[in-house]
Amino acid sequence: MGLLDSIAGMAEQAMAGQGGTNAQVATGLMQVLQEHPEGVQGLLNGLQQSGLGAHAEQWASGALTSATPDQVQAGLGNNGMLEAVAAKAGIPPALAQEALTTVLPMVLAHVAPNGQAAQPGDLGSLAGSLLQKFL
């Protein structure tokens, strides 16, 4: 579990700075994506199925416009990812949902650049570069 330990360590560093909750949620989301059988593609599929495909494409292309709490709920709430992210981050789902309004577009820009889902083996290095934004 070295990768998850290093991600957790980066999140702790970020929490000492300004990133706090967003860093926890980003770490939780990356852990959930690593553990999800479909990984990043599962996230993209869930967003597509909930009618947020166009938003996911914008975010994946680097448009870092914030999501709304309703979009986060629609995209992640129906497949249990929102609750899993909250559990990994150690915060209530409502707080995770709020943080994901900023974090979700950033994560998609890193793990699905131009709409192409990162391979599971690449998530570790992508997580590190993403969490640097919160430090």
Does the pTM of the predicted model rise above 0.85? no
- Tens-digit pLDDT profile for residues 26-71: 889 988 988 888 888 888 888 888 888 888 888 888 887 778 999 8
What pLDDT is stored for residue 19 in this prediction? Answer: 57
Nearest to 112 by CA among 45, 24, 17, 25: 45
Residues 6+ apart with CB under 8 A from 2: none
Evaluate if residue 97 carries a pLDDT over 90: yes
Which position has the token pair 């793990």? 111
Write out the two tokens for 129.
């570069």
What pLDDT is stored for residue 135 in this prediction? Answer: 43
